[in-house]
Amino acid sequence: MPWPGIRKSGRPTLDRRKYDGTGRLKHPCPLPAGDPDLLREGPLKWGRGWLAVSKPTGISLHNDPGHDLLSAMAQYVETHGELAEAMGYDAGFGIHLPHRLDKETSGIVIMACAEAAHRWISRQFEEKRVVKEYNAIVHGDLAIPQGALWGEWAWPLSKTAGGRSNPAGTGKKVHCLTRYRSLCHSPRYTLIACEPVTGRMHQIRRHARMAGHAVVGDARYGTPQSIRHLKSMGFSRLALHAASITLVLPETASPATLASPGLPVEMIRLMEQDLAGKQAGDGVIG
């Protein structure tokens, strides 16, 4: 699991054995690697009426029938009869998504394969009782306030997403809050853990841009110069990964955390290369 620990509330705790006095990890990039093969490995976890999978980057959740995540999981479940029966899979209902994850973002996704489970999970998302944790690599040296374990971005955002020149968006803006913690640093980048307490579209990406630390590989909010530099180094994805979801699962009474297997290999490799000083260039800022 990619967190030092989880309180009963679902929020991470800090393991003093792994952190120094500034809140930084003692060993760079400690998160394990984890890249899924959906049709070979199937769901990470499952229960009556639900399943959790680790989505690769570049795959749509539901907008590309036959090639999206829903199609892949439906194919897997329908060809594994014993699993479908144990999960209570309702073929008439199919598989539905109680939440969203951008196509460019990888990581943990929970799905429902029965109507009652879908209502149960969806209600928690609607009532904002689900804790979602992400890992991201951002440009530059991002620090947190002295003496704090978490920093906060609290800029108001509009409902519709903006772009790199106006990430806050146009029209009416509402309060938005993102919590973040720096995990490790390289000469050009910072690996962070972050939690979107509110849920605006592209909230982490927009807040990171407004903070002057755009998410690495973000073609929408980063600079064209940074994207060209990253592609020249063989890095062509958004460095944002959904690490865990904490919620009360169907037919249970206490919160549980569903975690992805680890940080995508490309993200780990980018940090390791930069730490080793193997990248060329003069430090492109996003």
Residue 164 · residue 221 · CB < 8 Å: yes
Cα angle 268, 194, 281 (rounded to 5 degrees) comes to 40
* From 102, 218, 274, 282, active-site residue: 102
3-state secondary structure 24-75: CECCCCCCCECCCCHHHHCCCEEECCEEEEEECCCCCCCCCCCCCHHHHHHH
Tally of helices (H runs) and strands (E runs) in the chain: 7, 11
- Measure the CA–CA gap between 127 and 106, rounded to whole angstroms: 24
**Surface-to-core class of residue 7, CB atoms within 10 Å of its CB (0-12 exposed, 13-18 middle, 19+ buried):** exposed
Tokens representing 81 are: 């009869």
In the residue annotation, 102 being an active-site residue is answered as yes
Strand duo 173-174 + 178-185: pairing: unpaired
Active site residues: 102
